[in-house]
A and B are shown apart, each in its own frame.
Chain A
Amino acid sequence: MLRLLRTHLALRSAALVLLIVGSVGLVFLSVATHITEKAERERQTARLNELLDTVESTASIAAFLGDRQLASELVRGLLKNRTVAGVTIRAGDVLLASASEAADDAAGLSTIQREVRSPFNPAETVGTISLLPNEAEIHSEVESASRFITLLLAVQLLCIGVGVVLVVVQLITRPILKISRRLHSLRAESGDKLTSPRGNEQDEIGRLVRDVNALIDYLINILDKERTLRIQREMDERQFQTIFENAETGIFLIDETGTLLSCNPAFKRIFGLSQYDSPERRQLQLAGLVGSSREDMQHLIDQCLDNGRANSQDIALPDAGGNSRTWINVVLSAVENSRLQGVVNDITERKLVEETATELATTDPLTGLLNRRGFELRLEAMIQLCRRDASHGFALLMLDLDLFKAINDTYGHQAGDAALVHIATILTRSLRKTDVIARLGGDEFVVLLDGMQAPQSIALTVEKLLAQMDAPIPLGGGIEAQLGLSIGVAVFARDASDISSLLEAADQAMYAAKQAGRNTYRFHTPPPGE
């Protein structure tokens, strides 16, 4: 029952209206009963008074004469009336006649008493007549009147209840149900609108429908905007994802401990990881990926965490054999939450180009030996090394090909070049890999004997070189020639401690050797005992 009232507006309205009307009706009923009772009493009293008027003359005679017979007849006559419960007639103090229908309801009731005058002298009171109203009759009258009112009220309540239910159902519940059903099947996203039930366009229900439509419009609008934004964002994300996925540059994210959080395919490619690998799940350390360059990488990370700026470094990436075949450039920059993001580029090719360029710049194209520039760089580096380590030293040999000008003049430049290449081959073959061999120009060669300071060992090497010159040198086209070398030796830092004076010293020694009769050598400072 309560569930019905909760779920049905019409029943609830009806119940409330019935409750109110019923309460008011009960109040009305009690008031009406009260009024009816009072009116009924008054009516009874009026009737009894009329009765008394009717019998007054007879009662007057009976009292005047003290006639019991007449009084008794009168009493009997009066008792026949339903509204009379009892009658008493007295003449002065003498009881003439008395009777009552029921003795029990005599108490507490208002008897109607009237003085009886003499029939011949209105001034003289000859007795009294008392009437006792019939209380039961009054009650039954009031009851029947009340019952009638109650019946009317009940019928009225029933009509109101049914009426309210019908009105509410017709005017409110049905339109609302209609709207609800339409809302259920409404395809708002396709632009459908709620229509007002017929006849409700101008009232509150119509207004509700309009409001709902406005709300739908608003929501659809917002949804559209949201959708557009989402699609835009998805496209952007996809674009970024595509860039991320397809970039040739390795992109990655690490935390402050250097643990890899995320990386793209290019990153995996560069570090030789499988594309199906997920390094972020393996807690891979970035520094652990670069093998022997681990410290360089760790240094870069620390530096970046330290200064918070973007830091860049070239790092050699060793291959399986431990050789640095690949070079990478790592740029690290700090992002939020003490994370670092970085890009990695394979710069091996650039490095190669650089190296090639350096080589071109420092190599003599004819012989493949270092040129003057290359030589000076190596000499400088070696001097730097020696200055750091005093025990380290080296010897500088200045070589000049004897009679080279004659060969050029006699057999042409090609023959001269062949001679120069042959000398280069001899030098390369005869000396250690750590030694530096260069052609400064023309027939002028120079050699740095790394770590060699003792005159004996220098002399041994030089003599071995000179011995090779005993064989004739092929000049191309079947021509051979016997050539000689004049060699000047200067020892760092015994003879000189800077580039130009060292070169000068070697040059002087070389001239000395030439003057001594070709294909020989001289120390700038002759060794003791010579």
Chain B
Amino acid sequence: MRQLLLAIIASLLLGSLCAADIVVVVNPDSGVESLSQDDAINIFMGRYKQLPSGITALPVDLQQARAAFYQKLVGKTLAEINSYWARLVFSGQGSPPRQLTSAEEVIDAVSNNRGAIGYLDRQYVDDRVRVVLAFTP
């Protein structure tokens, strides 16, 4: 009975991790080979306006992966992130990344814009984008 319970918890955890295997991707022509987590935070939270290669950064959010991504990136809930952006929007100084609704849209946006940077589940990654940061479990 106990062994059965442990097996169920373990399988649940594994499943969740597999499902949240999110990677940060950029345009292959952006000149960026890899990103540190701090760089990612600075770009996605609006601190850095440019990528490390000097191209103007254009971060995009993937709506269904947002909660998991920010949880991994800065350890904050979506509500906190929304509150953060709300303050900045109110002061008129910054705006949150544009929100896309599917992995396909992210790939499209990144591959069509050299400064674009986004995130998606690893299973949707293809040649049109370059993975620069993966959250190791």
Residues of A with Cβ closer than 8 Å to B? 58, 61, 64-67, 69-70, 73, 119-121, 124
B93 touches A119 (CB 8 A): no
Chain B residues within 8 Å of A73, by CB:
91
Residues of B with Cβ closer than 8 Å to A? 38, 41, 45-47, 73-76, 84, 87-88, 91-94
Q: Check A67/B93 contact, CB under 8 A, given A58-B87, A61-B88, A120-B41.
A: yes
Shortest distance from the beta carbon of B32 to any chain A beta carbon, whole Å: 20
Whole-angstrom distance between the alpha carbons of A143 and B82 in the complex?
47
Q: Check A67/B88 contact, CB under 8 A, given A120-B45, A121-B38, A121-B41.
A: yes
Shortest distance from the beta carbon of B48 to any chain A beta carbon, whole Å: 10
A67 touches B91 (CB 8 A): yes
B92 touches A64 (CB 8 A): no
Chain B residues within 8 Å of A64, by CB:
45, 47
- Closest B residue to A124 using CB positions: B38
Shortest distance from the beta carbon of A276 to any chain B beta carbon, whole Å: 140
Chain A residues within 8 Å of B75, by CB:
120
What 7 A-B pairs come out closest when comparing CB atoms?
A: A120-B74, A70-B91, A69-B91, A67-B93, A69-B93, A120-B41, A65-B47
Can you name 11 A-B pairs with beta carbons within 8 Å? A61-B87, A61-B88, A65-B88, A65-B93, A65-B94, A69-B92, A69-B93, A70-B87, A70-B93, A120-B76, A121-B38
Chain B residues within 8 Å of A69, by CB:
91-93
B84 touches A61 (CB 8 A): yes
Chain B residues within 8 Å of A70, by CB:
87-88, 91, 93
Shortest distance from the beta carbon of B76 to any chain A beta carbon, whole Å: 7
- Closest A residue to B87 using CB positions: A61
Chain A residues within 8 Å of B38, by CB:
121, 124
- Indicate the member of A65, A69, A70, A121 with the most B CB atoms within 10 Å: A65
Whole-angstrom distance between the alpha carbons of A70 and B89 in the complex?
10
- Indicate the member of A73, A119, A120 with the most B CB atoms within 10 Å: A120
Whole-angstrom distance between the alpha carbons of A67 and B123 in the complex?
38
Whole-angstrom distance between the alpha carbons of A100 and B110 in the complex?
47
Chain A residues within 8 Å of B91, by CB:
67, 69-70, 73
5 extra A-B contacts, CB within 8 A, seeds A65-B45, A67-B88, A69-B92:
A70-B88, A73-B91, A119-B45, A119-B84, A120-B41
Chain A residues within 8 Å of B94, by CB:
65, 67
Chain A residues within 8 Å of B45, by CB:
64-65, 119-120
Whole-angstrom distance between the alpha carbons of A64 and B47 in the complex?
7
